[in-house]
């Protein structure tokens, strides 16, 4: 599988990143190990998680995903050389454990390293903007972690174009490291927040872009076509917003394109992202090995001009 440069990080990644939010939430530890093994065996090499995963589950405190990933790495140490570990800091972990201030970052990175059972995090990302902390404080904290060899590169998630530009200017003004990657919400349905100024800036700065919600919480798999379908999984409740005339038009286009290629709608939706300028590799999750097989199909799928035109027409953001 051909690797792609992740912006200017010096890291090379396969065209799809495994989304680790499911570990300890919709899949237990044994299934997580099975999925991770299948992912690496298929030739993929990057796994994305966050310290806060999965604090939203009743009885969880955060750190569950990192902990499972760490146990998997520890079970066979040779795996560490085969994978890149991406995690994030900044989301609310309870009490004063949140934000992008220096004190919390310095504490949070140690917690993540311990849970992941690694000496260095390949990509450490600001999970969301922190209006109460100057960019130079955050980037200064990252500089110290880079110098100490605890992280290899930094990125940001959920930043808009203004926030990315402001952080870049602050880095240049203070001689600090710049964000090298961006993690936006982006898929065939949710296009408006990335297409436009943010995408143009990401291309201009040479950022590695790893979009999340690549399958719109599962909607783009074609699994949910009516409100009766929403009870099919724990994530169904978040899909209702996609059951619109535009959403159904996107599914229709996906059905037509996937029929031409003999694959499923999910593979086409992921292949569309992989083919987009301004996207390095989408993030996708799986809860079964069968779903995992679709990742390989998507990575090898070449969409034609007619395919891309049909998808562009159906998914064009409405004014």
Question: Is the peptide bond between 308 and the residue preceding it cis, with omega within 30 degrees of 0?
Answer: no
Rounded-to-integer distance, Cα 190 and Cα 187, Å: 5
Report which DSSP code applies to 186: -
Residues 179 and 207 sit within 8 Å (Cβ to Cβ)? yes
Q: Are strands 4-5 and 12-13 parallel, antiparallel or unpaired?
A: antiparallel
Rounded-to-integer distance, Cα 245 and Cα 117, Å: 47
Among this protein's residues, is 53 annotated catalytic?
Answer: yes
DSSP letters spanning 126-183? E-S--TTS-HHHHHHHHHHHHHTTSBS-EEEES--HHHHHHHHHHHHHHT-PPP-EEE
Query: In the structure encoding, which two tokens stand for residue 25, read together?
Result: 């939430």
The count of other CB atoms within 10 Å of the CB of residue 56 is 10
Strand partners, 87: 124
3-state SS assignment for residue 207 = coil
Query: In the structure encoding, which two tokens stand for residue 147, read together?
Result: 């110098």
Residues 299 and 274 sit within 8 Å (Cβ to Cβ)? yes
Q: Which of 53, 179, 194, 213 is catalytic?
A: 53
Residues taking part in catalysis: 53
């Amino acid at each position: 599988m051909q690797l792609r440069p992740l912006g200017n990080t010096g890291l090379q990644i396969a065209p799809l990143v495994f989304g680790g939010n499911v570990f300890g939430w919709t899949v237990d530890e044994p299934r997580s190990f099975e999925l991770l093994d299948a992912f690496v065996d298929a030739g993929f090499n990057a796994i994305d998680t966050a310290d806060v995963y999965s604090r939203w589950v009743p009885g969880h405190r955060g750190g569950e995903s990192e902990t499972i990933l760490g146990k998997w790495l520890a079970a066979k140490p040779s795996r560490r050389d085969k994978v890149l570990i991406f995690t994030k800091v900044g989301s609310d972990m309870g009490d004063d454990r949140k934000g992008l201030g220096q004190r919390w970052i310095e504490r949070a990175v140690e917690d993540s390293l311990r849970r992941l059972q690694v000496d260095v995090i390949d990509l450490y990302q600001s999970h969301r903007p922190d209006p109460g902390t100057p960019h130079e404080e955050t980037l200064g904290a990252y500089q110290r972690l880079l110098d100490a060899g605890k992280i290899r590169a930094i990125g940001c998630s959920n930043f808009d174009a203004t926030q990315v530009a402001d952080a870049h200017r602050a880095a240049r003004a203070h001689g600090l490291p710049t964000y090298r990657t961006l993690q936006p919400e982006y898929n065939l349905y949710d296009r408006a927040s990335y297409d436009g100024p943010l995408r143009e800036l990401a291309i201009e700065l040479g950022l590695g872009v790893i979009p999340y919600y690549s399958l719109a919480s599962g909607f783009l798999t074609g699994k949910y076509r009516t409100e009766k379908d929403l009870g099919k999984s724990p994530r169904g409740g978040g899909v209702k917003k996609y059951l619109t005339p535009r959403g159904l038009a996107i599914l229709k286009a996906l059905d037509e394109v996937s029929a031409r290629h003999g694959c499923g709608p999910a593979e086409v939706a992921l292949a569309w992202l992989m083919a987009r300028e301004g996207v390095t590799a989408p993030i996708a999750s799986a809860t079964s090995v069968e779903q995992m097989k679709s990742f390989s199909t998507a990575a090898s799928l070449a969409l034609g001009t007619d395919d891309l035109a049909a998808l562009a027409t159906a998914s064009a953001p409405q004014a």
